[in-house]
Amino acid sequence: MKLDAYEGKTGAGLTGIFYTAFVAFESAVKGVMFDCRMCGQCILRYTGFACPMRCPKQLRNGPCGGTHSGGRCEVYPEMECAWYRIYRRSKLFHMDRKLEALQPAIDWRLRGTASWINHFTGADKHIKPMEPADPRPRSSKKR
């Protein structure tokens, strides 16, 4: 896909003052609230409203396996493992089932763009997560 066409679709090609101001606004609000890193493809609704991009390895499908006891990060032991936090918060908000969704690889072309605009324009649709399968047996499903 040609980058020009891609940018036109995402809104990343918008360089006007409105878009720049919107990116700054989103960055400021989500920076304070979620320590957002502006990946452009927000999955907070799947992660208990804790940002997975805080992980030094930027893993979007669970922890690396190196988490220290007490939920400390193996790269920066002074910080809490991003996925430990995601799990805690998902449990707190009864969103833990959402963690079973398989998140596709991140599209770095969207980095630094406004995820809210990407969401509403559908620019991030190609990275749609795979929802977990319905756990109910087939016979109990309503038709």
Tokens of 48: 């208990």
Contact between 36 and ligand SF4 by CB under 6 A: the answer reads yes
Between 5 and 61, name the residue whose CB sits nearer to ligand SF4: 61
Distance separating alpha carbons of residues 56 and 79, to the nearest angstrom: 10
Nearer to ligand SF4, 5 or 25 (CB): 25
Interaction of residue 43 with ligand SF4, rule CB under 6 A? yes
Region of 43-51, 66-74, 83-91, 130-138 interacting with ligand SF4 (CB under 6 A): 43-51
Whole-angstrom distance, CA of residue 55 vs CA of residue 62: 10
> Is 37 a binder of ligand SF4 (CB under 6 A)?
yes
Q: Applying CB under 6 A, which of residues 48, 110, 115, 117 lies at the interface with ligand SF4?
A: 115
Of 48-56, 73-81, 121-129, 131-139, the window that binds ligand SF4 (rule: CB under 6 A) is 48-56
Residue 30 sits in the site that holds ligand SF4 (CB under 6 A) = yes
Q: Does 38 bind ligand SF4 (CB under 6 A)?
A: yes
Write phi, then psi, for 40 (nearest 5 degrees): 85, -5
Q: Please identify which residue in 39, 73, 82, 117 interacts with ligand SF4, judged by CB under 6 A.
A: 39
Backbone angles phi, psi at 53, to 5 degrees: -75, -5
Name the one residue in this structure whose structure tokens are 């430990």.
Answer: 84
Interface residues toward ligand SF4, by CB under 6 A: 30, 34, 36-39, 42-44, 51-53, 115
